Structure 1
Amino acid sequence: MKRFPIKVILLSLFIVINLTVICTFPTSMSDNDSEEVVNNLVTFLNKNDITVSPTIIDKETKKVSSATLQNFIEDRDAFAKNILGAKKEVTKNGETYTANENQVIFDGNKFSFVPKTPVTLSETHGIDAVNASKKGKKIAAYYGFDSQNALIVSSDDNGKYHIFMTYTIENLPVFNDYMTFDITSDGLIGFSGVWFTQNSLGEYRNTKSVADALLEFSASKDKPNGKIEISDITLGYNIVDFDTSPTELQPVWRITLKDGSKYYINA
């Protein structure tokens, strides 16, 4: 009779137990799922060193679109001249455009406007923590960016305001389609980002449930080691390929941890 080392036996038993737990745990939720199912999910995750509040686990079925976006910038030369001032002489060196020591710089599909000194605009006058987001939207419009479907938030860093503008599809954020504007009472310090806007909406489908996304995250090799605390779960999209326009979107659940790190599970 062949004998197996005790370590092999224990490892085999551990694998069987865990497979049994995963197979017997419900892998999806319907609209009629009770709080008991959510609590069972939370308990299961806790046993795997993942803490999440039941209040952020949405049981409703969500729908997403097979939308496509197109790059806002179709002509880099024209875009740079518009930002720098169409009547000014613009020189080009590689991916850097310069006029009066102000620069527009391209890095792949990312662009940056770097003025030598703050640009004084009527939209920056009287900026404060209360109106910073509205001011940011007006500045975006001033430079020709379509901000109608944008989610805009701001933060105050001792009088320096960071305006974060994210594109949305029917109120769902496109997480990697965003711009940042830096503003003080002296004017616009600069802005940077990528900006793709809606091309088509396409067909709709139901998403993967939050429960499925959390279970997939718990089994992921990419999640951090040790105890994990989830602070937020948000449905949205990610651009698949920035080098293609129009480009497709991937619906995703964004899982944000307490330390601020973010993980994306296809929805």
Structure 2
Amino acid sequence: MKDIFSNNVNNTETTAYMNWRTQRLDHINNMIVVAEGFRDSSLLLVKEILKDNTDKKADILIFPILFNANHSIEVYLKAICWTQNRLLDKDDKFDENHDLRWLFKKVVDLENELNNSNDKAVFHEMLSNLKAYIYELYGKIERTIKDKKGNDKSIYDITFCRYTFTLGKGKDLAPQFYINTFENVVVDLENFLTVFKSIFDNLKSLSMYYSSLLEAKQENEYEALQLQKEMESEFRGDY
């Protein structure tokens, strides 16, 4: 068998270059590249289904579609958090979990801490569809279990589109919300395409906005450092 990680010498158009868009020292940019890949794979699958779903492929492709969409959101939010923390001169990067609701809250909290002069109403409007989706999703994946003390505890299983049952330490292999029901659990893919295109467009715009602020901050710091060096050199009589 030919290696999967190998070049097609006969046709470069059929070769994927994993490090073509990434940069060795720009971790935040690389995260956004990954977010865009999962974003595009989700939207492209939906577009293909909408062309022709007579074979009912939507019923099985909806799982990778949702996984890719959710993972794109997660990586976008983490990249934005990291950029916000750097703007605040914090060593923090992002919370290492898959909790979309928590990551969304962190982005909002850090924006409030930055206290940018941009219109807060615009910021919240850009995130309104994402907020609505996250709260809709969490209403679906919420389950109540008993903790070690016998008290009720709410959990949210974001792996719902990876496994048909809960999986992990302390989990009880309970079927996901779309298994334990006599009613159809459905997704309107035309609506999905409209809503998620808006969500991703706004996440991309916000990531670019914060990146531009960080770039300007770094340029100002560099210029200030150069000026300080010139002043120190002049004070010492170096020229």
Fold shared, TM-score > 0.5 on shorter chain: no
Relative contact order higher in (CA < 8 Å, ≥ 6 apart): 1
Higher normalized strand content (fraction of residues): 1
TM-score range, shorter chain: under 0.3
- TM-score, length of structure 1 as denominator length: 0.21
